[in-house]
């Protein structure tokens, strides 16, 4: 990878051997390995048996989870907040494991729409809740640094399953609790792709 990064620096018109860039290939390789470490993650090891049988059927919410990911179209960061809710049927996930699940999928080359679905689908698969909801809001540097150059825009995506999809009252309770109801009215319209089709 370091040889490729040296080639990239040269293609950009830089001198990879100058003092400020000598160690850049090593640093970039280390950074990219960390930022894409989700590919190597074992979900079961991440959860570490933190799935518990409980007699509880009310909404569980972990909100304002910071996440950082890389847009697969431009390899530029997108980052923001993730809000996760589920209604247990028989099992719950240890609360600290939900941010870890978010990190597993965020630390891959992504689009926000797929990232949102992957988190919701994994929770649904692992504990079979009565419903699961994930809302993500993010700033995309591929929109603010380049392209349309809209620095104040952000994208909101959602995945709603079970009770959150079927029961408007449950969905609206979740949105009220995360204070995003006005930003995502009704959750009916799919979010637009942030950078699909851009050159």
pLDDT tens per residue across span 8-63: 999 999 999 999 999 999 999 999 999 999 999 999 999 999 999 999 989 999 99
The verdict on whether 112 is a catalytic residue reads yes
The verdict on whether 161 is a catalytic residue reads no
Quick one: average pLDDT of 166-174? 96
Of the pLDDT bands very low, low, confident and very high (cuts 50, 70, 90), residue 153 is confident
The verdict on whether 71 is a catalytic residue reads yes
The verdict on whether 73 is a catalytic residue reads yes
Say how far apart CA 18 and CA 61 lie, in whole Å: 50
Of 7, 72, 151, 176, which one is the catalytic site residue? Answer: 72
Percent of the chain with pLDDT over 70: 89
Which pLDDT value is given to residue 180? 57
pLDDT at 161 over 50: yes
The verdict on whether 72 is a catalytic residue reads yes
Which pLDDT value is given to residue 130? 97
Of 82, 112, 113, 161, which one is the catalytic site residue? Answer: 112
Q: Which residue has the higher pLDDT, 190 or 143?
A: 143
The verdict on whether 82 is a catalytic residue reads no
Of the pLDDT bands very low, low, confident and very high (cuts 50, 70, 90), residue 151 is confident
Quick one: average pLDDT of 170-175? 95
Which pLDDT value is given to residue 143? 86
Which residues face 67 on adjacent strands? 80
pLDDT at 194 over 80: no
pLDDT at 186 over 80: no
Of 118, 142, 161, 195, which one is the catalytic site residue? Answer: 142
Structure confidence by residue, pLDDT tens digits, 96-111: 999 999 999 999 999 9
Which pLDDT value is given to residue 181? 46
Three-point CA angle 196, 198, 199, nearest 5°: 135
| Tokens at 139, concatenated | 């700033």
Percent of the chain with pLDDT over 90: 82
Q: Note the pTM of the prediction, 2 decimals.
A: 0.86
Residue 32 near residue 4 (C-beta atoms within 8 A): no
């Amino acid at each position: 990878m370091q040889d490729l990064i040296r080639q990239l620096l040269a293609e950009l018109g830089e001198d990879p051997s100058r003092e400020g860039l000598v160690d850049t290939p090593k640093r970039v390789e280390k950074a990219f390995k960390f930022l894409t470490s989700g590919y190597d993650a074992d979900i079961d090891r991440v959860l570490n048996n933190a799935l518990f049988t409980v007699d509880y059927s009310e909404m569980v919410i972990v909100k304002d989870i910071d996440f950082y990911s890389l847009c697969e179209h431009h390899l530029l960061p997108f980052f923001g907040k993730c809000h996760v809710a589920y209604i247990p049927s028989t099992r719950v996930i240890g609360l600290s494991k939900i941010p870890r699940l978010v990190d597993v999928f965020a630390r891959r080359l992504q689009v926000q729409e797929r990232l949102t679905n992957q988190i919701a689908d994994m929770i649904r698969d692992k504990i079979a809740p009565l419903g699961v909801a994930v809302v993500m809001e993010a700033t995309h540097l591929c929109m603010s640094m380049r392209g349309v150059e809209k620095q104040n825009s952000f994208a909101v995506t959602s995945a709603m399953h079970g009770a959150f999809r079927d029961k408007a009252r449950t969905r609206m309770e979740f949105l009220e609790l995360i204070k995003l109801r006005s930003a995502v009215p009704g959750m009916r319209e799919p979010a637009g792709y942030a950078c699909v089709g851009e050159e």
